[in-house]
Structure formats: C-alpha cells, structure tokens
Structure 1
Amino acid sequence: MTTIDTFGTRMTIGGEAHEGAGGFPVTNPATGETLALAPEASEAQIDLAFRAAADAFPAWAADEAARRTALREAAAALSAAAERIAPVLTSEQGKPLRLAHGEVLGAGMWLDYYAGLDLPRTTLQDDDRAYAEAVLRPLGVVTAITPWNFPVYIGVAKLAMALRAGNTVVLKPSPYTPLSTLLAGEILAGVLPAGVLNVVTGRDHLGPLVTGHPLVRKITFTGSTATGRAIAQAAAPRFTPLTLEMGGNDAAVVLADADIEWTAERLFAAAFDNNGQACVAPKRVYADRRVHGALVDALAERARAAKVGDGFDPASELGPLNNAAQRDRVADLVAEALASGGTAVTGGRAVPGGGFFYEPTIVTGVSDGVRLVDEEQFGPALPVMSFDGVDEAVARANNSAYGLGASVWGTDTDRAAEVARRLEAGNTWVNTHVALAPHQPFAGWKSSGVGIEGGHWGLESFSAVQLAYRAKL
C-alpha cells in the first residue's frame, strides 16, 4: 500500500496550489476503507480556475513553438514521475500496479505525439485574384471531465489534444479517482505556464459549474451515456461544442474458422482488461454454434486461472471493482441473467472479505433481451452466445443503442474484415479488440459518442476552422 502525501489536499489553479473549501473521502477499492480526503472545490474556486485559464489563453494560443516545447517537457516530466503516480493510481482505482505504471507511460505518449503533430493548413485558392486557405484556430477555455477507469490516460489524452490546438484547460476528474489526477496536475504545472492547466476536484454536484461556466468554449467528456446527455443539455443554451465519449456494449463475433485457443487467450485479455472496466472492451460474444462450446470452455479455463487480488500484489491479474455501486451492479446483472435461465460456467459471485472484488465470470444460456447482454456491465462478467449464420450475428451485434467498438475473429482475415465492415461501430478490429494509439481516430456511433478524438481528427475537434482570404491587388 502507498502513503497518500499532502498533494491529495491541494488543487492546481492558475499554476498555484489551492486548498479545497472542504474534503470528501476517496475509497480504497481493495479494502473498502477511506484512503484519503480529496479537496472539494468551492464555486469561487471553480470561477477562479476558469478566469486563470482565460487569462493564460492569449499568450498560449499565440506561440505555437512554445506549445510544442512545453508539451515535450510535459511528456518527459510525466513519464519520469510514473513510479510516483502509479502507486497512487492503484490505491484509488484498484488496478494492478504494473498496469497503473503502463497507464502513466501511455499518457506521456499522447503528449509527445501531439507535440510533434502539425496543425493542418489547406490551400483553397492561389491565383491572380486571391490566396485563400483554411486554418485551425483555438477555441479558448476547454472543460475536460474524466472517468474513474483510466483517469490519468484519458485525462492526459484530452489535455494533449486541447493544449496542442492552443486552448487552455480546466480539468475535473471523477470523484472516485481524483488523487492521481491531482498529482499529475501538480507535475505538469511545473512545466506548463500558469493557468494553462487547472485541476479542480469535487463530487458530482460540481458538474454543472464546470460545464455551464460562461467562459467555457468547448467541453470534452468521457463517461456514461446518461451523464453525457446531461452535459449536452447543459451545453445547448450557449451552443458549446462537445466531444462526448460515452458508454459501449461492444460485440465480438467469433467465426467458425477461428483458432479457438488463440482467440480465447486474446478475447479474455481484452474483455477482462482493467477487470472489465473499459468502455471499449468486448462485453458480449457471439460465437458460431460449431465452436461455441469449445470457446466457452477455453474462456472459462482462463477465468478460473486468473488471480484476483490487491493491485499491490505482483501476482494479481485482476484487481477489485472501483466502487461498491459498480460491484453491486455487476452482481445484480449476473443474478438476473442466472434467474432468467443462464449458467455461470465459472464465477458468478462476489469474493468474500473486504473490498469490491468479484469473480471473473463467464455466462452462457442467455440471449438478447437479458440486461447482462443488452446493457454495459462494466465489470468482470462476459456473456457468450451462439449463432447459426453470419447475417444473424451481424444483426444481433448491431441491435444495440451503442456503437463504440466491435471485433471479428477468424483465420480467413479477408472474410472477417468483410463481416467487420458490416458492424455499426466507430472502431472495428479483426483478431484483436482494443488496439488504440494516439495517431488513430477514436469515435463512437449512436449513443456511444459525439465527435472524434485521436490523430489530426482530435486536433481538429479542439479547433475552429477559419477561412483566411487575401485578395491580391
């Protein structure tokens, strides 16, 4: 276990440390006990953060070379602090320490990538009459709201895009995982100009204050679809631009020619990454009836072998669920599926003792219409169903309000790719699931998202297109 230092009581506003107006408890998911008190921002401190960001915006937006340099320095500082941040992340989120360390290093990659990415300029006209081009201009102050499953990685990815485009940021992390973000913010404040990044923490009642502030020029959010809808409503009166990366109920389609052992190994790793707490992870599997039984057996074997335990135990592969409400939701969905005729081939119950642990669970004998299949469970429970033809599999995979990711598995990769092209999701993969990188677009369809992050598309989403037209004399 790590010791939470005094940074857990301070927010970074205008480049300075600020005590909160009060404190709220952060829970250790491995024990269920209070880990530390995090600062609760007051309305006045929220306003101070936005004014600091607005004051810093003109100089930051004006000097592109300085932004590139600052982002490179930020990437180096964050990566150098991985050993310091990772234990805090494990303590409050629950993930194994090696995964927490990888999350911090992955976050640094986003900063470094965007430091080297050029702002595109498109020549539209160059003749005797005029020279015209389309250029990107920064928007102003960005509100970034981040989730509890990958707080450092997702938070820094948003920062990288917003800051490279020339915006300044007010960042509010989830109240379940504020401490690692506060520490990362403290480290980044050491290399960024004052006011460029401001980290404020507090419980959910602060949401309307950071989305509805009059200085906000862009909102970026990752979290549940229900919260995304509320943010969209808050943005509507001022027509504030949005990027919403919301829930997912990703389907994985396993074809008859799939290598079952190979597929099960990779499918289990993807579905149970971060203990299933990933928006873009396989959450329902459709397997050709001819291989369904073998796939279930192979997945169950891996689930039984997975070591569940405290993230500070080097042997732990899966940590706890992040919070009691999420553990209880997973338990309720599994219980309802079993009451509807499903079978837990392995798992199916909470781990006795302290903390928010739940056994890795493989469920069969259920179908569409059961909540475990239709809803995003966001935990270590995976329903595996059979199908009799590819058309059926595609129709069932697409029969969802969500459209974040999907994958197809088979040895005939051309055929698998043809099936993947029919799936209604912003991200599709063949023989893998969750292959993400800073240079790629990441977007959800339907209720899974609005806007794009990653690559030059993400940079453009944090910018306004301006026509620069010069008539020739």
Structure 2
Amino acid sequence: MQASLTHTIDGRPVEAVEFFDVINPATASVFAQAPEASRAQLDLAVEVARRAFERWRAVPTASRRKILSGFAAAIRAETQILAPLLTREQGKPLAAAVREIESTAARIEGLLAFELTPETLRDDERGRVVLDYQPMGVVGAIAPWNSPLLLATQIAAQALVTGNSVVVKPSPFTPLATLRLGEIAARTLPPGLFNTLSGGNELGRWMTEHAGIDKIGFVGSVATGKRVLASAAASNLKRVSLELGGNDAAIVLADADVDSIAPKLFSGAFANSGQRCMAIKRVLVHESLIDRLGAALAQLAKQAKVGDGFEPGVELGPVQNRPQFERVLGLIDDALSRGGRALAGGAALNRAGYFIAPTIVTGVAEGTPLVDEEQFGPVLPLLTFTHVDEAVARANATRFGLGASVWSGDPERAADIAHRLEAGTVWINSHGGSLPEIPFGGCKESGIGRGMGLMGLKSYVEPRVSYLP
C-alpha cells in the first residue's frame, strides 16, 4: 500500500491521527490511505490563510504573476509523479492524466493575463467616481473527483490571482494528487497561501459553515451544491460560486454529415468515461438519421478500448467509484426495462474494477431517468425528433442548463437554433472543452456565477465604489 500523504498547512506538512482508504477504481481495491482532517486542523488552516491573505493582498500584481507562474511551472515539472497518482486514484488513462496536469498549469497561466483595473464611472465638475475591486479574504475550494487537479486548481487560481488565500479540499474519492499539489505549493508559494486538507463530507460542511471563510468555490453535483449554498448562507452569508451538473443535449439536424460528426459526438459524450459535467448526456437526432447515427456511434463504442489506465492504448477507464458505478448500471437497467434497446454495451465488463461497456441506447424518451437525469457515466441515449422547434423545446425542458450543441451542415442555421437554447455554453458542430480566458458555467440548476476569464475573476473580488473630489 502506498504511503499516505499529509495535509499542508502554512507551508508545512501536518500529520493526521485518522486516515481513510483510497480505492483504485480499476481494481476496486485499496491502494493508499489519505489523512482525515480534524475540525482543529481546519481552524488552523483558516487562521494561517487569513494571515497569508493580509500579506498577499499587498503584493504588487507583477510580483503575484511571477510567483504564480513559478507555481504553474513547478506543477508541470512534477507531471511524471502526479500523472500516475492521478490515474491510480481517478482511473483515467495515463495520457489523459498527463493532459489534465498540463491543463492545470495552463489554467493558472491563462488567468495571469487578466488584470482588474479601476474603472472611472464619472469624472466631471461634481467629482470623480471610481470602481475598483478588493479581494475577499479566505476562499474555500471544494473540488470533485472527475478532474480533481484541474478543478481544484481552477478555483484556487482565480482566488490567488485576485489576492485571496485558499483552503483546498479534494474529494475523498480522489485526494492524493491534490495533497501532492499542496506539497508543490509549499515549495513555491508564500506560507499559508495554499493549504490542503483531505476528508469526507463532514469536512466540507465545516468549511461551508466556517465564519473565517469568506467565499466557497464548489464544483460538483446539484444536490450537494444546494446544500453548500444553504450552509454558506446560514453561517456568514459567504459568497458562493457553484459549477454544477448538466444534462447537455446535442441536437443533430437532418442535413448533418453522420460520418463526420459521429466521432466528435462520441468523444463529446464519452471522454473521461462520460464523467464530465459538460459531456453530451442525450442526443436529439432527426428521425431520418437515427439508424445511421445509431449504427455509427455503436461501432465506435464497440471499438473503444476500455481498461486500466496504465494499459497501452486504453481510451476509456472505469467509473471512478462504486456508488456511481451502481447508479449508472441502475439507469441502464431501468431504461432497458422500459423498452430501450442497447445498440452497444448495456452491462458491466466481466473483470475487476468499476468498468461499464460504452453503451448506446435507443427507444427511450423523456420520462426515463436515463434521459431526464445526469447519468455521469459511459452511456448515451439517442432520441428522435421530427421538427426543429420540437427539438429545441425538448432540449430546454430540463432543470439543467450547463451546455448544449447543434450539429448541421449549415453552421449559420445551427447558430440560429443555438441562440434559442437555454444553456451557459453552446457549441456548433463540436461539444466540450473550456479555456482559461473564456467564462464557463451554467444557468438554471447547473450553477451560480461563471468561472474563468475576466468574469470568473470578478466573482472572487468585491467591487468598491469610491466618490472622490
């Protein structure tokens, strides 16, 4: 069993008294232990983060950029250590883990290009009115298990760029790479600026309730996001940014080129074994294309190599944890019991670990949980439509509003349809992907606020209006 990592508080390793198991989803067996944070350790982390914040907020922007650029470089330099750790705890193929680490460093570097400069709102004989931005203080970053390093750092980077300090909590399913990230931060950032604590749901509740934390950045499920929001409001009305789940619809018009779009649709749905908030969760395809598109996607599903992330050529890894594995299988079984048909997959693989064969399902409709809910796994339902207006209405008839896409041989027509979709991000003839300079987030129950870009940075500061002579 791998030796346990430690919390990082005030730039120093802090041992735990209690530990919890970390399971490799490719084997369904324990391979490491992670430290369980106590309430006293959280209090200490918040205290030192407060002191670090008071120093960091006074650091000139150019100096902050240089320091954070060094942090990004140090992350890249440890790719060969971080990537295998990430694959073992998360399950994704090693090549995908390497890409996540590169994206993690790139998130920091991309955000360094922005500067929140004061804005003059009025300047006349009555005087001058200036709007500027002040950092909030201590930010609690609560990250999920699907892209643990990338999403923890995305929250933390926005906080640090704008002059805040952070306390980072990874998911208990994937704590190790983030704890290692805390060690890198201890070597490259001022003490107390970037603190890492691992633990379960109780630690997350303590953070949302903690009066010393000024803002929570959270990425995860809608249900947990609602609890985070309620808890944060009840404590000290702390600010909250929520990036939550999606039930992203892809609308495929009758003039789409099936051979061209099928691989892109498959990637948009099945990357990271479907465990992405922005993944395609349902396809609304014109009835004239259902047979051809269904066959093309089923062939891609059957050809995809599924296995342990360390196996050569593996494209898709396991579902990350047993509860999610059982949930996805339950959604598939329910859909098939209602008359759905699996064109590919439809069951777990006969091997150790949480592996589900990539599954394409037809013959289902709204009212089926596989269609209505966010499955967050390697299964994709295909639904047919006759008229475009019907497809748009059905795509919008959901409590989610994270992403959507339109696929057509006529991009201008697709863009007109895209403008009618209720989603935070809409793609034309592609789906997925985000950049540090572009805001990302959802409407409806898919979240509050936007992350990344100038808009994201502004959610980690408080605007201040000054009336000057």
Work out whether the TM-score is over 0.5: yes
- 1:312, 1:305 → 2: CA distance? 18
Say whether 1:18 aligns with 2:14: yes
Partner of 2:296 in structure 1?
298
Mapping of 1:33-182 within 5 angstroms?
A: 33-63=29-59, 64-182=61-179
Residue-by-residue CA offset, 1:169-218 (whole Å, 9 max, x unaligned):
00100000000101111112211100001000011121111111111111
Q: Is the 8 A contact 2:111 2:452 kept in 1?
A: no
Partner of 2:366 in structure 1?
368
State the 1:21 CA deviation: 2.5
Q: TM-score, normalised by structure 1?
A: 0.97
- Give the aligned residue type for 1:370: T
- 2:267, 2:121 → 1: CA distance? 47
The 3-state SS of whatever aligns with 1:264 is helix
Say whether 1:29 aligns with 2:25: yes
- Give the aligned residue type for 1:156: T
State the 1:275 CA deviation: 0.3
Say whether 1:284 aligns with 2:282: yes
State the 1:25 CA deviation: 0.2
The 3-state SS of whatever aligns with 1:402 is coil
- 2:204, 2:72 → 1: CA distance? 28
Partner of 1:386 in structure 2?
384
Q: TM-score, normalised by structure 2?
A: 0.98
CA RMSD for the aligned pairs? 1.0
Q: Is the 8 A contact 2:5 2:180 kept in 1?
A: no
Partner of 1:309 in structure 2?
307
Q: Is the 8 A contact 1:96 1:314 kept in 2?
A: no
- 2:230, 2:68 → 1: CA distance? 33
- Give the aligned residue type for 1:10: T
Unaligned runs of 5+ in 2: none
Q: Percent identity among equivalent residues?
A: 48
- Give the aligned residue type for 1:470: L
Partner of 1:208 in structure 2?
205
Partner of 2:183 in structure 1?
186
The 3-state SS of whatever aligns with 1:59 is helix
Matched positions, count: 467
- 1:27, 1:54 → 2: CA distance? 34
The 3-state SS of whatever aligns with 1:447 is helix
Partner of 1:275 in structure 2?
273
State the 1:130 CA deviation: 2.1
Residue-by-residue CA offset, 1:115-152 (whole Å, 9 max, x unaligned):
23111321112234422211111000001100000000
The 3-state SS of whatever aligns with 1:378 is coil
Partner of 2:442 in structure 1?
444
Residue-by-residue CA offset, 1:423-460 (whole Å, 9 max, x unaligned):
11001000000131001111111010001101000110
The 3-state SS of whatever aligns with 2:413 is helix
The 3-state SS of whatever aligns with 1:311 is coil
- 1:463, 1:274 → 2: CA distance? 33
- Give the aligned residue type for 1:21: V
The 3-state SS of whatever aligns with 2:214 is strand
Moved more, 435-444 or 403-412: 435-444
- Give the aligned residue type for 2:145: W
Q: Is the 8 A contact 1:9 1:20 kept in 2?
A: no
Q: Is the 8 A contact 1:275 1:379 kept in 2?
A: yes
State the 1:469 CA deviation: 2.6
Q: Is the 8 A contact 2:244 2:446 kept in 1?
A: yes
